[in-house]
Homo-oligomer: A and B are copies of this chain.
Amino acid sequence: MYLAGDFVREIGIVVSGRVHLLKGDAWGNSNIMAEISVGGMFAEAVVCGGVGVLPFTVMAAADTEALFADFQRIVAACPAACAFHALLIRNMMGILARKNIMLAGKMEHITKRTTRGKLLSYLSEQSKLRGSRNFEIPFNRQELADYLSVDRSALSAEMSRLKSAGAIRYRKNRFELLGKREA
Contacts and interface: CB of A to CB of B under 8 A. Distances in A.
A86 B120 CA distance: 42
A87 B79 contact: yes
Given A97-B96, A100-B100, A183-B29, A107 B107 contact: yes
A1 interface: no
A145 to B, nearest CB: 11
How many copies of this chain does one complex carry?
2
A55 interface: yes
Interface residues of A, number: 64
A103 B97 contact: no
Interface of A: 4-5, 23, 25-29, 33, 44-51, 55, 75, 79-83, 85-87, 89-90, 92-94, 96-101, 103-108, 110-113, 120-121, 123-125, 127-128, 133, 149-151, 177, 180-183
